[in-house]
């Protein structure tokens, strides 16, 4: 999964941010068949390898880490948008974590004028 969104820190211009979680692949350093995914997103400066004992654990750990970063940024007033200039605010937890079966963080709410399913389709089509 990969998409580009725009992040705005209070008092600064919006900047483009790539959010992606790669498909699980075998970890070349593992002798036990462990898997890894690569994660990119807000608050994560480069492709970060996330390891698990299988595909599901590697992906779940990547989503958990991404969720933690999003929550941390949201607490500091960072907001996310679909476009550079538009007013459509995006709740990343609703898109990524809701689709993955994770509950919505209690401190974040879906604040968008676009219904969530249509928003998810747009992000999938862009990625």
Residue 25 has pLDDT above 50, yes or no: yes
Tokens 């679909």 -> residue: 82
Any idea what DSSP says for residue 80?
Answer: E
The mean per-residue pLDDT over the stretch 7-22 comes to 90
Confidence band, pLDDT 50/70/90 cuts, at residue 83: confident
Residue 51: its pLDDT value, please?
A: 93
Residue 37 has pLDDT above 50, yes or no: yes
Q: If you write DSSP's letter for every residue of 3-71 in order, what string do you get? A: EEEEEE-TTS-EEEEEEEEPPPEE-TT-SS--EEEEEEETTEEEEEEEEESSHHHHHHHHHHHHHHHHH
Residue 20: its pLDDT value, please?
A: 87
User: Do 6 and 80 meet the contact criterion of CB atoms below 8 Å apart?
Assistant: yes
pTM: 0.67
Q: Which residue ranges make up each domain of the chain?
A: 2-126
């Amino acid at each position: 999964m990969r998409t580009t969104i725009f992040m705005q820190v209070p008092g600064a211009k919006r900047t483009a941010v790539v959010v992606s979680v790669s498909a699980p692949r075998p970890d070349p350093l593992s002798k036990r068949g462990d898997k890894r995914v690569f994660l990119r997103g807000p608050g994560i400066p480069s492709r970060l390898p996330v390891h698990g004992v299988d595909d599901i654990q590697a992906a779940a750990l990547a989503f958990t880490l991404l969720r933690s970063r999003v929550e941390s940024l949201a607490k500091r007033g960072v907001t996310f948008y679909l476009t550079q200039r538009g007013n459509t605010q995006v709740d990343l937890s609703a898109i990524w974590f809701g689709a993955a079966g994770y509950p919505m963080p209690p401190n974040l709410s879906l604040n968008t004028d676009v219904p969530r399913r249509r928003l998810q389709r747009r992000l999938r089509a862009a990625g």
